Amino acid sequence: MPTVIITEKPSAMSKIAHSLSSSPRKVESGRFYWYELSKGKQKIIVTCAVGHLFALDAVKHKGGWSYPVFDVQWVPAYTRKGSEFSKIYLDTLSQAVKKGDDFIVATDFDTEGEVIGYNILKFIVGKTEAKRMKFSSMTKEELVESFENASPSIYINQADAGLTRHYLDFYWGINLTRALTLAIKNSSEKAFAILSTGRVQGPTLAMLHEREMEIRNFKPTPFWQILLHIKLGDMQAVAQYIEEKIWEKENADKILEESKGKDAIVENVDKREYTQSPPVPFNTTDLLTESYNQFKFSPTQTMSLAESLYQAGFISYPRTSSQKLPPNINYVKIIGSLTSLKPYASDARTLLSKGKLIPVEGKREDPAHPAVYPTAEIPRLENLTAQQRKLYDLIVKRFLAAFSDPAIRESNTITLGIDSNKFVIVGKRTVYPGWTKVYSPYVLLDELLLPELNVGDNVKVSEIGQLSKETQPPGRYSQGSILREMENRNLGTKATRAEILKTLYDRGYINSQSIQVTKLGEAVIQALKEFSPKILSEELTKKFEDETEQVSEGKIKREQVVSDAEKILVEILGEFKANEQNIGKKLLEGLQESRKDERRVGNCLNCKTGELNMIFSRKTGKRFVGCTNYKQCGTGFPLPTKGSITALGKACKDCSWPMIRVWVKGRRPYMMCINHKCKSKENWGKGYKTTKPKSQSWQGRKTQIISA
């Protein structure tokens, strides 16, 4: 009988089948298909899942919603809302495995991939033993090698670790969702909203709320700066008093008076050369962070793009903790292949001419996969989408930069004196660009070339000024920096952090690219912090992450960790139940405030005192923007009938009325002014295209229209 290779998704099935044979045969079965091929005398079937074909679900009991819930079972994913599409894949895979007696799991080599393979073996094949293909890229060469050297068994400890995480996340998710939702429901007869939190969501939201409170409670401290506007040859420059911040106004005034009307003397010139090493290769967090910084791609958007490039065989596996590039990936072959792509040819040839190739590496390691790198399978750049091409360019240049020379930079610190007061100006220049040329345009270097000066030279002061400033609160997290902080605090995993962040946006707990906690998110945190703080405990989350890691190492059993989690949850939920009314009231207040925020578009420009809110008319089935003083003011604007609407919090440049973003599923979002008479809409319907955002990352507030 044939050997059956089980892959994770259709694209992987096709890639593996066409790597093992030049002409695999597609076999139709029901509404889907698998591949059959021969390799020597061996007959092979290559079939696929579509991610997780099985999911945990609570065993149904009479009596409706209640908690705690620990009676759970694995069910086909298609039985759950939103995953109905997976049934055709499960049915086809079930038919394919009946034709074989030898099985190879070829899902992604990570915890989730191991769970997918394990559950297919257990619930469809009826066994838990199979061979295992292990690969870090989808290149033909690596897939063939992985098939020919398949491990004799799956990695059961890794599967157990994945199953542990599934049980923990499901227990936390279902129990806390029910607890929060019932708290609101039981606090008011008319109120209902499904709220949720989770094992990692809670501590992450608490961390964001902590930053929000730091910003809100920040007390600015005044300080002063003294600036010298000087002329250096043909160049105008600015030197600053040697103390960057002068905390006493009297001192600042004294320095200003003592220095007025006088030229400066060069007291010291300090030139120093230093090297600047290349950035380390990308791990998942580095890639998500840099992609957000450079392109404003959201983390989930970047992961989706990276996954598509990986499935096509153009980059290595994008879910990795490693910042290392082992020699066995064949540096010379990859860099040699990149010489065929015009944007990278020159830099690639320069590297090959160096002889020995040694990459700079970071400290982080991953036993399963190396850092993210471009493979020797080269895409046709014109066939990539614009976003795929941007991400591919970033990955290629980061890879090439890792093998490049350090940059040599020079700092030139000039100290100027006016009597006893000292001022400093710092020049910087690039002596040798090294890796910075390769990584362009993703590196920005400060360049200020100062003329040659010697000690004792006189410097003409054209103006001296005093600036009054205040210390600033800490900045809000961006979608890039929050992932880094989650990694530093060991919250979530490389594979889950982006999705956790997306969930917080989807739940309405946070908004904006510069992340702000909404009224609802604030209410959830305040209620839990006061009445059930363990739900927000980072220490508890880390404890289970550490124990899950120990399961993967075979040090402890999954059942022990899950049993321990049940006991802790019983304690947490008991405390929650005792305070359910108080928690419900706080959540309800936050929900009402949040809904007000969601409806609000801006201020009325006509009456000056009213607010503009989005309103849905039950009578007409239409939605519009109306002023809260509508009876006296009469201001109102129609809104698009389809799509979700986001208030952008900024004014139209043509008429000053508020701007909104409209997103219709399956289409790109567009921005528009709410004023239907605005001159920006004069050409609408005449081939005019609305303004589209630069990216589809999360911005503004996704609005839920509330009945008037």
Residue 103 inside a domain? The answer is yes
CATH number at residue 14: 3.40.50.140
Cβ-based neighbour number of residue 314 at 10 Å? 23
pLDDT below 70 — which residues of the chain? 189, 685-708
Comparing C-alpha atoms, which of 100, 82, 109 is closest to residue 8? 109
Per-residue confidence (pLDDT) for residue 704, from 0 to 100: 29
Active site residue 67: no
Is residue 334 within 8 A of residue 347, CB to CB? The reply is no
Same-domain pairing of 171 and 252: no
From its phi and psi, is residue 687 left (phi > 0), alpha (psi between -120 and 50) or beta?
left
Is residue 226 within 8 A of residue 241, CB to CB? The reply is yes
Same-domain pairing of 76 and 120: yes
Is residue 310 within 8 A of residue 11, CB to CB? The reply is no
Cα(630)–Cα(422) distance, integer angstroms:
62
Under 8 Å CB-to-CB from 316, ≥6 apart: which residues?
136, 137, 310, 329, 369, 370, 371, 372, 373, 374, 375
pTM of the model: 0.85
Same-domain pairing of 136 and 20: yes
Cβ-based neighbour number of residue 707 at 10 Å? 7
- Residues spanned by the domain of 323: 284-402
How far lies 603's CA from each of 512, 519, 590, 611, 702, in Å? 20, 20, 22, 5, 19
Same-domain pairing of 391 and 331: yes
Number of domains making up the chain: 5
The residue from 78, 241, 310, 317 that is catalytic is 317
Residue 101 inside a domain? The answer is yes
Comparing C-alpha atoms, which of 154, 169, 175 is closest to residue 503? 169
Same-domain pairing of 212 and 236: no
Domain boundary among 592, 614, 644: 592
Comparing C-alpha atoms, which of 684, 637, 682, 629 is closest to residue 657? 637
Residue 325 inside a domain? The answer is yes
Same-domain pairing of 425 and 505: no
Residue 199 inside a domain? The answer is yes
Same-domain pairing of 654 and 616: yes
196 alpha-carbon distance from chain centroid: 20
Q: Angle CA(687)–CA(688)–CA(692) in degrees, nearest 5?
A: 130
Domain boundary among 350, 373, 402: 402
Comparing C-alpha atoms, which of 36, 25, 29 is closest to residue 2? 36
Please list, residue by residue across 608-639, b when 16 or more beta carbons sit within 10 angstroms of its beta carbon and e when fewer do: eebebbbbbeeeeeebbbbbebbeebebebeb
Comparing C-alpha atoms, which of 272, 283, 279 is closest to residue 406? 279
Same-domain pairing of 464 and 569: no
Same-domain pairing of 355 and 432: no
Structure tokens belonging to residue 214 = 């730091």
Same-domain pairing of 620 and 587: no
Q: Is the peptide bond before 203 cis (omega within 30 degrees of 0)?
A: no
Is residue 426 within 8 A of residue 413, CB to CB? The reply is yes
Per-residue confidence (pLDDT) for residue 302, from 0 to 100: 96
Cα(635)–Cα(242) distance, integer angstroms:
56
Per-residue confidence (pLDDT) for residue 133, from 0 to 100: 98
CATH number at residue 194: 1.10.460.10
Residue 477 inside a domain? The answer is no
Q: Are strands 131-132 and 102-106 parallel, antiparallel or unpaired?
A: parallel
Same-domain pairing of 134 and 8: yes
Structure tokens belonging to residue 516 = 């702000």
Domain boundary among 106, 132, 154: 154
Residue 344 inside a domain? The answer is yes
Helix axes 580-599, 519-531, angle to 10 degrees: 170
Per-residue confidence (pLDDT) for residue 686, from 0 to 100: 55
Per-residue confidence (pLDDT) for residue 357, from 0 to 100: 96
Per-residue confidence (pLDDT) for residue 705, from 0 to 100: 26
Is residue 509 within 8 A of residue 520, CB to CB? The reply is yes
CA torsion 74-80-85-88 (nearest 10°) is: 40
Q: Angle CA(705)–CA(706)–CA(708) in degrees, nearest 5?
A: 125
Give residue-wise pLDDT tens across range 171-181.
999 999 999 99
Per-residue confidence (pLDDT) for residue 618, from 0 to 100: 82
Residue 61 inside a domain? The answer is yes
Same-domain pairing of 126 and 205: no
Residue 708 inside a domain? The answer is no
Query: Residue 460 forms beta bridges with which residues?
Result: 231
Cα(610)–Cα(353) distance, integer angstroms:
70
Give residue-wise pLDDT tens across range 59-101.
988 777 899 999 999 999 999 988 999 999 999 999 999 999 9
Three-state SS for 76? strand
How far lies 349's CA from each of 169, 239, 340, 360, 434, in Å? 49, 43, 10, 19, 14
Rg (CA), the chain: 30
Cα(223)–Cα(213) distance, integer angstroms:
23
